[in-house]
């Protein structure tokens, strides 16, 4: 496995729309493994292929629970419910965190690394991570949706544990 280089801040590739994955082979599987390794080394909860310079509709995620890391190819939001506001950060955006409104619950359709269709239902933090990463695939950064900046020095202690890097 290899650690991939993260694209940061105003790198123009981060604003481009990713193309669907059409070939499901060993190369794709290796790339997904490298993305997971990179995400873990950066202590991220999610990573989109575009963040490492590949315009492909592929995301990885890990909530660091018993389920372990996951990969979703060609993800597509098919249902959402409710709304909540939370603090987000991003491995590709330096030195800023902010509040973003996201669905409370959602259902996403996509494919696994073998090309099989899968449906994922997610709530709360998992739903936030999936939305954040799927936005990347369309050239959208969390700062585009941010309602206000999160400044740790002035926030209550109870909000501190909601800050996440995606």
Q: What does the alpha-carbon distance between residue 130 and residue 110 come to, in Å, rounded to a whole number?
A: 12
Region 7-25: what's the mean pLDDT?
A: 97
Region 33-40: what's the mean pLDDT?
A: 98
Quote the pLDDT of residue 153. Answer: 79
Catalytic annotation on 81? no
Domain-wise residue ranges, the chain: 12-165
Architecture per CATH, domain 12-165, reads as Alpha-Beta Complex (3.90)
Give the residue, 12 or 165, on which the prediction is more confident: 12
Strand pairing class (84-90; 117-123): unpaired
All residues at 6 or more sequence positions from 72 whose CB lies less than 8 Å from its CB, including other chains = 58, 59, 60, 61, 108, 110, 111, 112, 118, 120, 130
CA 6 to chain centre: 13
User: What's the distance, Cα to Cα, between the start and end of the chain in Å?
Assistant: 21
Do residues 123 and 105 make contact, with C-beta atoms less than 8 angstroms apart?
Answer: yes
Strand pairing class (164-165; 84-90): parallel
Task: Write the DSSP symbol of residue 146.
Answer: -
Helix (H, G, I), strand (E, B) or coil at 70: strand
Name the token pair of 40: 């873990």
- For the stretch 120-164, pLDDT in tens is 999 999 999 999 999 999 999 999 999 999 998 776 555 545 556
- For the stretch 56-103, pLDDT in tens is 999 999 999 999 999 999 999 999 999 999 999 999 999 999 999 999
pTM higher than the cut 0.85:
yes
Quote the pLDDT of residue 25. Answer: 98
Quote the pLDDT of residue 13. Answer: 98
Set 41, 133, 149, 163: catalytic member: 133
29 pLDDT band, cuts 50/70/90, is: very high
Q: What does the alpha-carbon distance between residue 145 and residue 72 come to, in Å, rounded to a whole number?
A: 23
């Amino acid at each position: 496995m290899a650690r991939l280089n993260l694209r940061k801040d105003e790198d123009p590739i981060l604003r481009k729309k990713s193309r669907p994955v059409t070939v499901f082979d060993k190369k794709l599987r290796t790339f997904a493994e490298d993305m997971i390794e990179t995400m873990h080394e950066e202590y991220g909860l999610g990573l989109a292929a575009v963040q490492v310079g590949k315009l492909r509709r592929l995301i990885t995620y890990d909530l660091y629970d018993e389920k372990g890391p996951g990969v979703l190819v060609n993800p597509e939001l098919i249902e959402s419910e409710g709304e909540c506001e939370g603090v987000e950060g991003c491995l590709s955006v330096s030195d800023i965190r902010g509040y973003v409104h996201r669905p409370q619950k959602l259902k996403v359709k996509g494919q696994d690394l073998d090309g099989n269709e899968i449906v994922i239902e997610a709530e709360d933090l998992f739903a936030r991570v999936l939305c954040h990463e799927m936005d990347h695939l369309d050239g959208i950064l969390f700062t585009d949706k941010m309602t206000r900046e999160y400044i740790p020095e002035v926030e209550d202690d109870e909000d501190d544990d909601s800050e996440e890097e995606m």
